[in-house]
Structure 1
Amino acid sequence: MRIVDTTKTCVWMTEYGNFAHHVKVKQRYVWDQKTREFLDKVKAVLIEKEKVLQKGFHLFRAQIGIEPLDGEHPPRPFDKDRMIPNAEYVGDGRANSRGIPVLYLAERVDTAISELRPWRGADISVAVFEIVRDLRLIDLRIQGPETHGNLWVDLNGNSPSEDVKNKMTLRSVSDAFSMPVNRSDNAIDYVPTQIITEMLKNEGFDGVVFRSQFGGANVVLFNSEDAKALSCTPYQVEEVTVAYKDIGPIRLYDKGS
């Protein structure tokens, strides 16, 4: 049996986790040297993932709710002002801090609706937005088996190559952005990705693209004026399905407990 020394290699697997923990509970606004070094590494990796979102491209934004029914008109979606984020009401999100509006969009209608975690029968307003100029985005989507999170394992006990380290950094950041958001999430959980977003914004990028856990992709634009609302349609959710599988054995409890 081969014994693997992971004392060197596992540090790269936990590097993002260490960064996230540090900025959430120790030091957030003034970074220490270790945090700066990690963010410099993230920046160097991410700028290689630049893509252009062309003027005229259409994306979708969903909000739970429609205009109140009055008995005289068919169901109507929210008006345009309701579909555009207002700094006065903006809360914390994975790509923004409270009070700083960004535009969360999706490439498909079903993705936009699913990101809301709606219930059966929920009324949804879905607006079509058009990109008004060519935008520089960072594409955080990754594909292929070479990006699997276990790349850090080295059966010879050697430190991973720079290429593997970079793929792991990209994977960690990508997973952090793609992780589903729950209504019960603590705002502190968004701090790591908020910091990375601010860094990219400071570098002159206009937004990020990341994989949705519900299929398709999400797009965040740092400036809400980079897209204009063209139309809005009212929808109602007909079904909400859940697929699942066993991941472990059944646990039996004592009858007397």
Structure 2
Amino acid sequence: MKICDDCFNDVELKGFIVSQNQIGKCDICDKFEAFIIDIHEIFDFIKSLMSNFQVDEYSNNTPLVKFIQKHWSFFRDVETGNKILSPILNDINALIKDINTSVKFNEDIEYNVGYWDSLKHKLKWENRYITDIYYLTEGELGWDGFFGSEVTISPSDLFYRGRLQNIADSPPYKNDEMFSPNKYVASAGRANPSGIPYLYLCDNIKTVPYEIRASYLDEISIGTFQLREGVNKTIRISDFTEKPSLFLGAEATYDVINKQIKSTLLKNRISFDLSKPMRRYDSELDYIPTQFICEFLKSFIGVDGIKFRSSLHTEGNNYVIFHQDIMKCLEVDRYTINKVEINAKEHILFRL
């Protein structure tokens, strides 16, 4: 069976197919003059991938391809994925024989990624300051190998940070007033513990009013930030926004794919908690797990900050810089919020 690059969304697999430089007709989508490979060329990869799933006996809503698409959009669409996998599941001796079988990740993955929820509970309610780092890293879970995706900050990159004005019609804050408060008054945040200030920035100026919860007619100062001159090291940022490829080579082993799956799922869970806006009635205890993971990344991975998506403004990303003295504030401008739009969702369960 010949398959073409257009049958997949996975960037790495598409590139692999094109790199083989074989032109022909695709047996899946019937496209002529397409870049194709024989399905047998990726049998080892598919077999290793399938070994990371198990039958979900308690659900009938997660058939194989739909489950894969939910997490990676690996195939062009569900129908295409079914056409590719259906005739070969028996050939690769997979435990899952039918594409209509509901699946979940195997127990190893479920436990490893699910430990994030266990850890959150322990940090909040049991042991806050002493945690078995060895168990999290090379001892058992291998989390120190899951955060390899990084971006760097270049001197030309611009970032933004906002503050609400506390006096009407007052001038904007001064440049040095746009940094985080000093350690003696720094309160706890999503990433930083009390007394350890981190610098929270956005890469899109339009994201700033959302992140500081600005309301109608509020006056705000927005500072523009850049890497300070003289910083003589590469500024490494752990990236929680990346959409990683699932295809890691035609001969990728179970262990390689298993690690990629764990990394993707764990980072998605942490990213969700990092992005989750705090409500006025939430407790600062909810900050503790994400504060821990930032400390873990700073101390054991050695990065200078993190990048994660804004849940309040989908066009922007948030950055947390662990040592704010590497940044400088170029200028500060004042804005007035002249429009606010609020949408509400009814909770039907509580309707009287």
Residue by residue over 1:22-66, the C-alpha shift from the partner in whole angstroms, topping out at 9 and shown as x without a partner, is 11100111113xx642356332101x1122111231100001115
Q: Distance in 1 between matches of 2:194 and 2:350?
A: 42
Relative to the length of structure 1, the TM-score reads 0.79
Identity %: 26
Match of 1:151 in 2: none
Q: Report deviation, 1:238.
A: 1.3
Correspondence for 2:178: 83
Contact 1:125 1:234 in 2 (8 A): yes
**Corresponding residue for residue 211 of structure 1:** 309
Aligned equivalents of 1:100 and 1:245: distance in 2? 37
Question: Across the two proteins, how many residue pairs are aligned to each other?
Answer: 231
Decide whether the 8 Å contact of 2:123 with 2:289 is kept in 1: yes
Secondary structure in structure 2 of the residue aligned to 1:208: strand
TM-score by length of 2: 0.59
Alignment CA distance shift 1:15-1:174 (3 Å)? same
- Note the 1:1-257 alignment, pairs <5 A: 3-4=57-58, 8=107, 10-12=110-112, 14-32=114-132, 36-38=134-136, 41-46=142-147, 48-65=148-165, 69=169, 75-85=170-180, 86-132=182-228, 133=231, 134-143=234-243, 161-202=258-299, 203-213=301-311, 214-215=313-314, 216-244=316-344, 253=352
Cα 1:55–1:250, aligned 2, differ >3 Å: closer, same or farther?
A: same
Alignment partner of 2:146: what SS?
A: helix
Structure 1 vs Structure 2 CA RMSD = 2.8
**Which 5+ residue runs of structure 2 have no aligned equivalent?**
1-55, 59-102, 247-256
The alpha carbon displacement at 1:201 in A equals: 1.4
Judged with a 3 Å threshold, the aligned counterparts in structure 2 of structure 1 residues 78 and 66 are, in CA distance, closer, same or farther, namely: farther
User: Residues 15, 233 of structure 1: CA spacing in aligned structure 2 closer, same or farther, 3 A cutoff?
Assistant: same
Q: Relative to 1, partners in 2 of residues 1:121 and 1:144: Cα closer, same or farther, differing over 3 Å?
A: farther
Answer yes or no: is the 8 Å Cα contact 2:241–2:309 preserved in 1. Answer: yes
Q: Closer, same or farther in 2 for the Cα pair 1:162/1:24, shift >3 Å?
A: same
Is the 2:168–2:219 Cα contact (8 Å) retained in structure 1? no
How far off is 1:101 after superposition? 1.1
> Could you give the per-residue CA deviations for residues 122-142 of structure 1, whole angstroms, max 9, x where no partner exists?
111100011124411101114
How far did residue 174 of structure 1 move?
1.4
Does the Cα contact within 8 Å between 1:142 and 1:171 map onto a contact in 2?
no
- CA gap 1:78/1:55 in 2 versus in 1, 3 angstroms: same
Query: Which string of whole-angstrom CA distances, capped at 9 and with x for unpartnered residues, describes residues 105-136 of structure 1?
Result: 00111111110111111111100011124411
- Partner Cα separation in structure 2 for residue 88 and residue 249 of structure 1: 45
Residues 70-122 of structure 1, C-alpha deviations (whole Å, 9 max, x = no match): xxxxx411112321122222100111111111110001111111101111111
> For 2:317 and 2:351, how far apart are their aligned partners in 1?
41
Aligned-pair distance for 1:177? 1.2
CA drift of 1:231 comes to 0.5
- Aligned mates of 2:191, 2:134 — CA distance in 1: 19
User: Helix, strand or coil: the match of 1:19?
Assistant: helix
Bigger Rg, structure 1 or 2: 2
* 2:310 partner amino acid: S
Residue 162 of structure 1 deviates from its aligned partner by: 3.7
Distance change in 2, residues 1:22/1:39 (3 Å): farther
- Structure 1: distance between partners of 2:349 and 2:150: 46
**C-alpha displacement of 1:68:** 5.4
> 1:89–1:145: structure 2 CA closer, same or farther, 3 Å change rule?
same
- 1:239 alignment partner, SS class: coil
Change (3 A) 1:250 1:99: closer
8 Å CA contact retained: 2:113, 2:265: yes
Question: d(CA) in 2 for partners of 1:144 and 1:244?
Answer: 33
Given that 1:210 and 1:217 are in contact with CA atoms closer than 8 Å, whether structure 2 keeps it comes out as yes
Unaligned runs of 5+ in 1: 70-74, 147-159
Residue 76 of structure 2 is matched in structure 1 by none
